[in-house]
Amino acid sequence: MIGTGSHPRYQLDEVIHAPVRLSIVAALAAADRMDFRLLRDTVEVSDSLLSKHLAALENAGYVEISKGRLGRRTQTWILLTAAGTAAFNNYQHILQRIIQAGSDARSGTSTESS
């Protein structure tokens, strides 16, 4: 958590909130699993940057990384775990609450029970 206030932004998951990690999780949510190179190209980052962010997601339990052989080449697969899927769904829900809070502020209503 970023803070302890009542605004929904304080509930955003810091692990997913980083733009590159959010892009990774969103791409993985749309697929059963992705090859490292395809994921790298999809989120438009370097190998080293992707590896760094995958390590953070793996440490949080949000992705599972496995390696296998394809002919002579090693292939790396990335899978969004059940915990990663739940975290991403929750993240999307919180974003909707933030948007709603902005709308409520403009109209003078409140949805604190959401």
Q: For the chain, list the domains and their CATH numbers.
A: 11-107 (1.10.10.10)
Residue 100 pLDDT more than 60? yes
**What's the whole-model pTM score?**
0.83
Lowest mean pLDDT across 8-12, 14-18, 53-57, 91-95? 8-12
Spell 60-97 as b/e; 16+ CB within 10 A means b.
Answer: bebbbeeeeeeeeeeebbbebbeebeebbeebeebeeb
**Does position 104 have pLDDT exceeding 80, yes or no?**
no
Q: Which residue intervals of 10-81 are DSSP H helices?
A: 14-17, 19-29, 36-43, 47-59
What is the tens place of the pLDDT at every residue in 25-66?
999 999 989 999 999 999 999 999 999 999 999 999 999 999
CB hemisphere CA count around 69 (13 angstroms)? 2
Q: Are 26 and 84 in contact (CB under 8 A)?
A: no
How do beta strands 63-70 and 34-35 pair?
A: unpaired
State the Cα–Cα distance between residues 80 and 111, nearest whole angstrom. Answer: 32
Q: Which helix (H) or strand (E) holds 32?
A: none
